[in-house]
C-alpha cells in the first residue's frame, strides 16, 4: 500500500524528535570557546569518539544509492553487488593502516590542502573545483533524487515535496557542524540497521511463506536454492552482468581503485577521522569495517527476495513501469508490505540513511569551498566567524542547487547505484594515482599531478566513447570487453584500471623528466614507524580479513 498509517507517522515523528533534540543538545553542550572556530565546525576537532567516527562513516556512506540502488542490483544480479560493501571493509583496513597516519602526521584537514602541501596551489584549486562539481552534480543530486523516489513510492507524497523535505531535514543537522553530524549519525545508524533488518526479516518471511514453510532461515535456504545464480560473487564472461562486475576485476582490479579513492582520498569520508588522534581514528575505521560486513544483509538480500517472488508470480505490477522492469523498485516494494509501525520504522531507517549522507556531503562541500577556495582566493583575511557563516551559506546553496537539477539528470534510467559509480569513475583513477604517488614516492612532481588530474579525466572520456569508433571485439576473449547492444564496451571498472595504469606511467615519466631538470618536489613527512598498529587493532583487522576470505570462498 502506497501510504503511511497513523502508527507509521508516530514512529517516524519519534525518530525525528530524537535526532533533532539530540543534535540540538550536542550543539549547545559543546558550544564553548571553539564554537565558531572553523576546524571545530568543519572537522569536530578532537571531539568525536571512535564509535561516533565509525557510525558516522557508515551513516554518511549508506544512503539511497545503497538502500534503493544496491537492492535493485540485488534484484538484477544478486549477491555479487555486495563486493562494493565487502571490499570496502578490506579497503578501510588499508586506509586506517597507511593513509590516516600520513594525513594526521602532516596535519592535513582537507583533500585540496593535501594537494597544495604536496604539489602546488594550481593542482589543489583544479581538484577543489572538480570535487565540488562531483559532489553537487553527481552525489548530492543522486542521494536527493533516489531518496525522494523511495519516499514517494512508500508514502505517496509528491516527489518534489519529498526532495524538499529531505533537503530541509539535512539542513537542520548540517548547520550544527561536524560535531552534530557525527553524534546524530550514531542514532541514524541505529535506525538504519534496526529498520533495515526489519525489512530483510519481512523479505525472507515472505519467501518462506510463498513456498509453504515458515521462518527466516527457511526463507534464506529457499533464496539460495530458487535463485542459485544470484549467489555467486565472481561473474564469468558469458554473464549478462559481466559488464557491471567483470570477473576477477572485483578482487584484483578496478574495484580497489573505486574503494581506495572513495575511502582514502575523499573529503566526504576522511573528514570524519581527520579531527581525531591516530588510535581513535583507527578504532573508528575498524568499527566501520565490521558494520560494512553486515550491510549486504540489509541492502542486498531484500532485492534477491524480491527477484525470487517476482519469478514466482509476485510483484509484477509493482516492478513494471511502461512494460519494463525497474530494478530500483525492489526495496520500496518490500517496504510497502510492512505492517503499521514497522513500515514507519523502515521508513525512518531509509530517511536516516538519506539524511545522514546528505548532511555529510553538504558539510564536505562547505568545508572544501570555505577552507580551500573562499579562504585562499576570495577573502584570505576572513576570521573564524566569517568562515563558519560562509560554510553555512554554502550548505544552503548546495542543497538548493541539488533540488533544482536532480530531476533532469536521468539518474533513474541506469540504476542509481551504477550511475554514481560510473560517473565518479571519470575522475577517481587520476585522483587516486595522484594521491598514492604523492604519499609514497617523494620524487612525484606537480606537473605529473596535473597530468593525472586532467589526463585521467580525458582518458576516461576517451575509453567511454571509444566503442562508437572502434570495434573492441578483440578484447572480449581476454575479458576486457562485453557486448552491449550492437557494440563491445569496456566495463567501467576495467576502464578505471586502464586509466589508473596510464596515469601512473605518465606520472613516472613526467616526474623522472622533471627530476633530471632539477625540480625539487615537496615530499610529505613519512616514516615506517607511523604505520605500526596496536595489538587490538591488528587482531580486529585480521578478523575482518578472515571473514572476507570465508565469504568469498563460500560464495565464489
* Residue range 356-411, pLDDT digits in tens: 778 878 888 888 888 888 888 888 887 777 888 888 888 888 889 888 888 776 66
Q: What pTM value is reported for the model?
A: 0.82
In angstroms, the CA 286 to CA 382 distance is 37
Residue whose cell numbers read 570557546: 33
- Which residues, 6+ apart, have CB-to-CB distance to 397 below 8 Å? none
The β-bridge relationship of strands 320-321 and 324-325 is antiparallel
Question: Cβ neighbours of residue 382 under 8 Å, at least 6 residues apart?
Answer: 374, 375, 390
DSSP 124-140: HHHHHHHHHHIIIIIII
Here the cell at position 318 is 509493482
Measured between alpha carbons, how far is 477 from 237 in angstroms, rounded to an integer? 8
Residue 502 — very low, low, confident or very high, per pLDDT cuts 50/70/90?
A: very high
Question: For 68-125, how does the pLDDT look when each residue is reduced to its tens digit (9 = 90+)?
Answer: 778 888 888 889 999 999 999 999 999 999 988 888 888 887 777 888 888 888 888 8
Q: Dig out the grid coordinates for 511 from the structure.
A: 616526474
pLDDT tens sequence across 308-349 = 888 887 777 777 666 677 777 788 777 777 778 877 877 787
- Cα end-to-end span (Å), the chain: 38
User: Percent of the chain beyond pLDDT 70?
Assistant: 89
184 vs 208, more confident? 208
Range among 23-37, 82-96, 508-522 rated most confident: 82-96
What is the set of domains in the chain, with CATH numbers? 6-418 (1.20.1730.10), 425-525 (no CATH)
Look up residue 369 and give its DSSP letter: I
- Whether 263 and 160 have beta carbons less than 8 Å apart is answered as no
Which of 44-53, 146-155, 321-330, 429-438 has the highest mean predicted lDDT (pLDDT)? 429-438
Amino acid at each position: 500500500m502506497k501510504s503511511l498509517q497513523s502508527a507509521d507517522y508516530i514512529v517516524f515523528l519519534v525518530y525525528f524528535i530524537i535526532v533533532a533534540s539530540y543534535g540540538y543538545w550536542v550543539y549547545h553542550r559543546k558550544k564553548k570557546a571553539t564554537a565558531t572556530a572553523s576546524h571545530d565546525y568543519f572537522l569536530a576537532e578532537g571531539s568525536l569518539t571512535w564509535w561516533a567516527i565509525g557510525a558516522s562513516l557508515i551513516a554518511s556512506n549508506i544512503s539511497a544509492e545503497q538502500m534503493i540502488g544496491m537492492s535493485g542490483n540485488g534484484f538484477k544480479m544478486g549477491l555479487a553487488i555486495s563486493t562494493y560493501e565487502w571490499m570496502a571493509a578490506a579497503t578501510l583496513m588499508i586506509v586506517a593502516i597507511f593513509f590516516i597516519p600520513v594525513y594526521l602526521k602532516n596535519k592535513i584537514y582537507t583533500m585540496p590542502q593535501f594537494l597544495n602541501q604536496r604539489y602546488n596551489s594550481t593542482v589543489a584549486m583544479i581538484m577543489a573545483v572538480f570535487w565540488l562539481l562531483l559532489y553537487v552534480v553527481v552525489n548530492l543530486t543522486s542521494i536527493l533524487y533516489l531518496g525522494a523516489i523511495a519516499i514517494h513510492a512508500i508514502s505517496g507524497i509528491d516527489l518534489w515535496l519529498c526532495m524538499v523535505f529531505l533537503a530541509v531535514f539535512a539542513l537542520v543537522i548540517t548547520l550544527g557542524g561536524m560535531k552534530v553530524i557525527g553524534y546524530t549519525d550514531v542514532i541514524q545508524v541505529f535506525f538504519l540497521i534496526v529498520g533495515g533488518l526489519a525489512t530483510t526479516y519481512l523479505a525472507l518471511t515472505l519467501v518462506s511463506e510463498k513456498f509453504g514453510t515458515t521462518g527466516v532461515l527457511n526463507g534464506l535456504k529457499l533464496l539460495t536454492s530458487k535463485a542459485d545464480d544470484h549467489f555467486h560473487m565472481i561473474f564469468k564472461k558469458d554473464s549478462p552482468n559481466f559488464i557491471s562486475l567483470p570477473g576477477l576485476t572485483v578482487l584484483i582490479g578496478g574495484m580497489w581503485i573505486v574503494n581506495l579513492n572513495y575511502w582514502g582520498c575523499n573529503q566526504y569520508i576522511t573528514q570524519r577521522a581527520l579531527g581525531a588522534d591516530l588510535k581513535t581514528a583507527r578504532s573508528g575505521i575498524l568499527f566501520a569495517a565490521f558494520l560494512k560486513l553486515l550491510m549486504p544483509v540489509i541492502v542486498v538480500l531484500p532485492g534477491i527476495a524480491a527477484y525470487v517472488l517476482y519469478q514466482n508470480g509476485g510483484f509484477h505490477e509493482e516492478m513494471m513501469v511502461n512494460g519494463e522492469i525497474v530494478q530500483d523498485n525492489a526495496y520500496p516494494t518490500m517496504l510497502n508490505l510492512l505492517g503499521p509501525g514497522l513500515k514507519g520504522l523502515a521508513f525512518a531507517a531509509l530517511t536516516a540513511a538519506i539524511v545522514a549522507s546528505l548532511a555529510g556531503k553538504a558539510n564536505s562541500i562547505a568545508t572544501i569551498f570555505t577552507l580551500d577556495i573562499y579562504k585562499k582566493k576570495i577573502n584570505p583575511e576572513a576570521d573564524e566567524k566569517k568562515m563558519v557563516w560562509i560554510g553555512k551559506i554554502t550548505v544552503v546553496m548546495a542543497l538548493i542547487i541539488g533540488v533544482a537539477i536532480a530531476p533532469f539528470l536521468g539518474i533513474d534510467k541506469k540504476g542509481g547505484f551504477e550511475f554514481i559509480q560510473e560517473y565518479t569513475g571519470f575522475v577517481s583513477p587520476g585522483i587516486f594515482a595522484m594521491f598514492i604517488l604523492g604519499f609514497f614516492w617523494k620524487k612525484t612532481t606537480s606537473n605529473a599531478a596535473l597530468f593525472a588530474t586532467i589526463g585521467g579525466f580525458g582518458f576516461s572520456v576517451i575509453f567511454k566513447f571509444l566503442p562508437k569508433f572502434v570495434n573492441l571485439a578483440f578484447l572480449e576473449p581476454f575479458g576486457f570487453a562485453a557486448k552491449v547492444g550492437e557494440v563491445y564496451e569496456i566495463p567501467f571498472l576495467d576502464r578505471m584500471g586502464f586509466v589508473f595504469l596510464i596515469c601512473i606511467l605518465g606520472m613516472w615519466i613526467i616526474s623522472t623528466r622533471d627530476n633530471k631538470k632539477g625540480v625539487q618536489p615537496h615530499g610529505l613527512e613519512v616514516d615506517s614507524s607511523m604505520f605500526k598498529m596496536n595489538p587490538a587493532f591488528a587482531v580486529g583487522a585480521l578478523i575482518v580479513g578472515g571473514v572476507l576470505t570465508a565469504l568469498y570462498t563460500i560464495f565464489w
